[in-house]
Amino acid sequence: MSFDAFLALLVYALVTSITPGPNNLMLLASGVNFGIVRTVPHMLGISIGFLVLLVAVGLGLGAVLTAFPVLHTGLKIAGGAYLLYLAWKIAMSRTLTAKGETKRQPMRFIDAAAFQWVNPKAWVMAITAMAVYTNPEHPFLSVVLISVAFTVVNLPSVSVWAGFGTALRGFLSDPVRLKWFNIAMGVLLAATLWPMLR
């Protein structure tokens, strides 16, 4: 991969990782409701889960889904249903979690990693990156380079959203503001399904 191509890949990774989508909206809400420290497993789950998805797509999973559209449709339905469930949970959240409180839990590492497999934006990002930036002469090396580039860019990008949410905790300590923030985040998260349904 040439330096120019690698630079273009890094820009693509940055733009797709930092723009709004299901992961970033959930991290914003998690930062508000749980703070940055308790959101770290969620952030790491996104980055590692997406890395595994990228490698799988690069090694042929994307081609399998193209060859078997019923699998792709099933994945879309499962992803949409789970995303709506998460949107509902966020929208119904009504109190901030204080330090030391463990009654409500942020998304766990394994849940965030598994979510990448049903996240429509993650699939589009992975398939596009592998289709555009792989070099047919060095396919394995290309998959590794693309995966490393995304991992290096993704974690800081998603951390920005969790950090922004944490910064809003003081403003949203008012129960009425928090209620409407969480409802708005739930609605926005559900709205991320629109591109998938078109």
Confidence (pLDDT) at 198: 58
Q: What gap in Å lies between CA 28 and CA 165, rounded to an integer?
A: 4
Q: What gap in Å lies between CA 41 and CA 129, rounded to an integer?
A: 25
Of the candidates 171, 198, 143, 195, the residue with the CA atom closest to the CA atom of residue 20: 195
Give strand ranges (E) for the chain: none
Helix axes 36-56, 120-133, angle to 10 degrees: 50
pLDDT tens readout for residues 102-159: 467 889 999 999 999 888 888 888 988 888 888 878 888 889 999 999 999 999 999 9
Q: Which of 98-102, 145-149, 174-178 holds the top average pLDDT?
A: 145-149
24-to-21, 101, 102 alpha-carbon distances in Å: 5, 24, 23
pTM: 0.79
